[in-house]
Chain A
């Protein structure tokens, strides 16, 4: 199992990470708003994460840390 850490306050809610995840681990938190005023990304299904780091590869704001 992999571990994901987000710099949630830097997230701009663009969703590129959500789209690219092959395991549907991520979603934008529609019930939360961060300091920048965006719905930030969160792991809704972290147990399925395989640590491929596709999400971090496509994140323009470098907010995702991936550990395995």
Chain B
């Protein structure tokens, strides 16, 4: 199954019956899949007039308490920024998929990870976060989609599956056997009062600064719980590692190949792969900062996650960048060279 299709089918299994989107490469298979499947299962696929309309349709369905999603690629996510901020301000759950391509501007259509900052920090205006889930296999594309819906409901926030063009197009076998949790009560939903309760208001406007501050503090209390309970990462050969490589998504697969080769050469190197980019897995990097010689961040960008690695490892060891950008992917040889360099004690 293709990565993009795995996401779409997993969303349906997770109980999502409403999808809104606007065509953009390289994620169009998600929309195409939904267009075929939704009418057959009583769901709704609607091609919106713009990314902005699509995210606001998501906002409308989310306000009724139903599971809903949209997907896009980098430039489209920029357009959705406004709506994502309103979703955050109104504490509405939703799932957004970003199959990243190179930027800035119209950029290109080849894979990229240059929306890391956008996803984890600068999505749009105001104090808020999205849950950001970074799959590294087609199986994880599906798994994290299901997980994303569950966490979004649990914490009343947007979850983003942050993939890239390679992950979207890649084909791998997938198991879609889930016990989906869809039991979160949503007493806040606007479903009509039925003349049985006070009216519900879904809203992000708070003109009183005291009230708005209170809303923000409440939201960040929830974020703290997420950081404590939902942070996910994978460690690979880190037990005795002297060099730490860090990468997420497709970059982590390249990095693993290079690590295997380096291990054969006798270099003690391991991998930390963040699965949640927000919340960022700070603990393993703090630990690494205390025992490894240096950390290499492998990214399909000009170096974005590297800033979080430096913070999490408290700058105790050098953190270097091994990257390609603009739609290019680092080769295992390039990563291996960086590992050898680091092992020889030199930042390149």
Q: CB–CB under 8 A between A and B in the complex?
A: no
Residue positions of B touching A, CB distance < 8 A: none
Residue positions of A touching B, CB distance < 8 A: none
